[in-house]
Amino acid sequence: MAAAGAALAVTACGTGSADDARAEDRETKYRRVIEDPHPRPADVIEMAGAPVSVARADDGSLLLTYEAANVEDDEGPAATAWRIVDPGGRTVAEHAEHADAEATRVSFEGVPGGFVRVPQGEGAEGAYVLDVHGERRGTVVAKTPMRARAGDVLLTETEPTLVYRPATRTVAPLAGVPQDAVHVAVDERGTVWSLDQSLTDEPDRVVWQRDARTLGSQAVPQPYAGGVLTARGDTVALALTTDDGVAGLLTSTDAGAHWTTQHAVGIPWKNLKSGSDLLALGLLADGRLLVGEEGGPHWLATDPTDTAFRRLETPAPFTSLTAHGTTLYGIVDTVTSTYDLAKGEGLWISEDAGREWRRYEQRG
């Protein structure tokens, strides 16, 4: 993403309208955009203010998704848009649609050669591929579950667990997922990691499989239960939870050969406010673990051993923070739809582990 600096700039952080007349103008335009049956992408992006998600293809291209929803009610009209920018930051394609505020949010996953639209229902229907130029490509939707292979990409974690195979552009249910699995991750080698939740007094277990063959399992240390799970390369991390929230981590940096229970790593677990359901775990390409709360603070491991963490200093409170490769993407947005913008609203990018941040400059 080194070339992306051409499209990034630190700009003034607008807080919305400076006077009532200007606020009324923005409100009028916002209403017009979400009620328009054929909205312009640039208008949706302007009204949204910040993307709701960021997907990155293997060549460094980004797909940003935007949403402008009804402000007064959870129901009513809405508008969505996506924009693809190349590694140099130039817009190469964009698209917008009229939508319903109650509809499931559109999301994409970055894959080799482009982006896959994540299915929104109970099956694989609705999935398609956009290449890095914005051209839509069809996918093969398989009903028969398939075993994970190296390079497969996890699209949905559970109910159902779906994977995408770039070589054949196939979306299919994942074979061999344990019946009691409540969290699933797939690493680059095609190893399927799952957290199996016992319905008895037995502890939860992390189980890993490849080619439908169980390679190993690790019991979650009592008195903890397992939370969110992430895996990449040789690193696997599981949140340890109690009735009071997150209490620590269970980690392995050698593909499950050895496990470490960690509590005193520099993260004030007892001060986390959002609970285990909103804890976010991510892994950088070099094995460093990213831990955070949705809408709250985030911590990054100081090295790939993941035994110590430092809190990230951000230009504004992020509503979400994700890692792609070794680049961090933070989003500043309002929690609920409003006509005005949050302070510092937009996409922020860091290529040096969060020490410096550059704001992505919207281009219409």
Q: Which amino acid is at 274?
A: S
Listed in sequence order, the residues at least 6 apart from 274 whose beta carbon sits closer than 8 Å to its beta carbon are 293, 294, 295, 296
- Per-residue model confidence as pLDDT tens digits over 317-359: 999 999 999 999 999 999 889 999 999 999 999 999 999 999 9
Query: What are the pLDDT digits (tens) for 223-279?
Result: 999 999 999 999 999 999 998 889 999 999 999 999 999 988 899 998 887 666 778
What is the C-alpha to C-alpha distance for residues 135 and 84, in angstroms, rounded to an integer? 11
Q: What digits encode the pLDDT tens for the residues 26-43?
A: 999 999 999 999 999 999
Give residue 6's pLDDT band: very low, low, confident or very high (50, 70, 90).
Answer: very low
pTM for this model (two decimals): 0.88
Nearest to 226 by CA among 246, 237, 241, 245: 241
> Which amino acid is present at 312?
L
Residue 8 to residue 327: CA distance in whole angstroms: 14
- Tell me what pLDDT residue 125 has: 77
Q: For the residues 72-79, what does the mean pLDDT come to?
A: 90
Phi, psi for residue 38 in degrees, rounded to 5:
-135, 70
pLDDT of residue 24: 54
Q: Helix (H, G, I), strand (E, B), or coil: what is residue 313?
A: coil
Per residue in 135-160, pLDDT (tens digit) is 999 899 998 999 999 999 999 988 78
pLDDT tens for each residue of 51-69: 999 999 999 999 999 999 9
- CA-to-CA distance for 175 and 161, rounded, in angstroms? 9
DSSP-derived letter for residue 204 is P
Per the model's pLDDT, the better-predicted residue between 83 and 177 turns out to be: 83
Taking alpha carbons only, the member of 128, 116, 50, 41 closest to residue 79 is 41
Each residue of 169-211: pLDDT tens digit? 999 999 988 888 999 999 999 999 999 988 788 899 999 999 8
Q: How many CB atoms lie within 10 A of CB 74?
A: 10
Distance CA 124, CA 134 (A): 21
